Homo-oligomer: A and B are copies of this chain.
């Protein structure tokens, strides 16, 4: 069985990726990151998602001495988003400098160590917050780097970056995940770590819009 490393965040996109990769026949190994997020809720939920899929997981703990994002820095506030803001080209304060590059580099290291053939990441570039490291061109460049970076690549065994959701709308992702029986009630998308989802951050707005367009009830949300 071919191995794949799945970047798992606790949100609905990466959970969908995990179930998609399982359906594709991969032996899935999840990678979670504790990188100084303001709240740990997404990590706990990611663990539950990995367990629900009966897959192994590793947590990478990173002490970033710098902040530069409202997801990391208590002094910076997370904006209350609107749909029109999400459609603008401005990159919001929740952007974490080089986050996907850091995540992918660890995934590459892990994949090469366990002889995995693929790294799966749940980025998407349609219903998203405008982060530069979610765009297809970014992943094409990352694939070229992967091929040159590793002993595996030198030996002709390139580790593929798979982005099954990159060109899907949030509604299409949710429809796909529902068919794959992704336990969305275990996932956590809200940027704030409250007892309940806030319903006003970029991530909550995108999630609510997706479930509404897919005409599916979001069991994880009490706000809808």
A132 in contact with B149 (CB, 8 Å): yes
Query: Please, which residues of chain B bring their CB within 8 A of the CB of A113?
Result: 66-68, 97
Picked from B60, B68, B99, the residue with its CB within 8 Å of the CB of A65 is B60
| Chain B binder among A101-109, A191-199, A207-215 | A101-109
Flag whether A142 is at the interface (Cβ < 8 A). Answer: yes
Select from chain B the residue with minimum beta-carbon distance to A110. B66
Measured between C-beta atoms, what is the minimum distance from A142 to chain B in Å?
A: 6
Q: A60-B65, A105-B101, A109-B101 are in contact. Are A137 and B148 (CB under 8 A)?
A: yes
A28-71 vs B, CB cutoff 8 Å, 1 = contact: the mask equals 00000000000000000000000000000011111111111000
The answer on a CB contact under 8 Å between A66 and B109 is yes
Give chain B residues whose Cβ lies under 8 Å from the Cβ of A98.
Answer: 105-106, 108-109, 112, 149-150
Known contacts A59-B65, A66-B113, A102-B102; 12 additional CB pairs below 8 A are: A58-B65, A60-B63, A61-B63, A68-B113, A91-B154, A97-B110, A97-B113, A97-B151, A99-B109, A138-B148, A141-B144, A141-B145
